[in-house]
Amino acid sequence: MSEVLSDEQIQEIRKYVKKYNSKIDVANKFALSYTTVLFYTRDIRIKRSKIRHNVIKRTPMKMTYNHSRGISGRPLSLLKKLVKNGYALSSEGYSLKEYIRLKKDFPQIRRTKMYGRMIYYLDDKSEAAAEALINVTNKKVMSYQELKQVTKVFDNNLKKCEKKQYLKLD
């Protein structure tokens, strides 16, 4: 329920609403609730364009990257792992955040999710990444179809002798 105000207070509130074009600011100035100000100034129409100029604009913080600082922290450790091995598994603690950060500067970095595991790898090291993914899967039996699917995802072809090496038939 709105508060009862004297006629002088009401006139002063109406004057400030007309002057500043913001009922919220007037409510804050007089330490009144917004609904009270709204009740006493319901006949005053405010143009939207005027409100935007007087009300403080709240802008969300923008995430910016300072390119002069370079790569550091977790993205750097992921990059080192990629350069050393050609691939890195997400189970080693790397997340999508590090991948996105590196992808901006190194477009040849790829990621693939298979068997519930995310693997990050370099374009030219896709064979090593496929081999690593096959080795870390906990499957006791791997069929030719599954092997074909893995090689298709990593866009490389295996020779017949290599396929037999990777197949886990019991």
In tens, the pLDDT along 96-144 reads 888 888 888 888 888 888 877 888 888 888 888 887 877 777 666 667 7
Is residue 59 included in any domain, yes or no? no
| C-beta atoms surrounding 110 within 10 Å | 18
Same-domain status, 26 and 78: no
Give CA–CA dist 150/153, Å, rounded: 5
Domain that holds residue 34: 7-54
Give the helix/strand (H/E) hosting 111: strand 109-114
The pLDDT assigned to 52 comes to: 46
Is residue 68 included in any domain, yes or no? no
Indicate the number of domains in the chain: 2
Same-domain status, 44 and 105: no
Token pair recorded at residue 108: 């040849």
Q: Which residues of the chain have pLDDT under 50?
A: 1, 50-66, 68, 169-170
Spell out a b/e string for 116-147, using b for 16 or more CB atoms within 10 Å of the CB, else e. eebbbbbeebbbbbbbbbbeebeeeeeeeebb
Is residue 92 included in any domain, yes or no? yes
Is residue 62 included in any domain, yes or no? no
Same-domain status, 149 and 84: yes
Same-domain status, 160 and 78: yes
Same-domain status, 48 and 92: no
The number of C-alpha atoms within 13 Å of 143 and in the hemisphere containing its C-beta is 3
Same-domain status, 91 and 141: yes
Same-domain status, 11 and 89: no
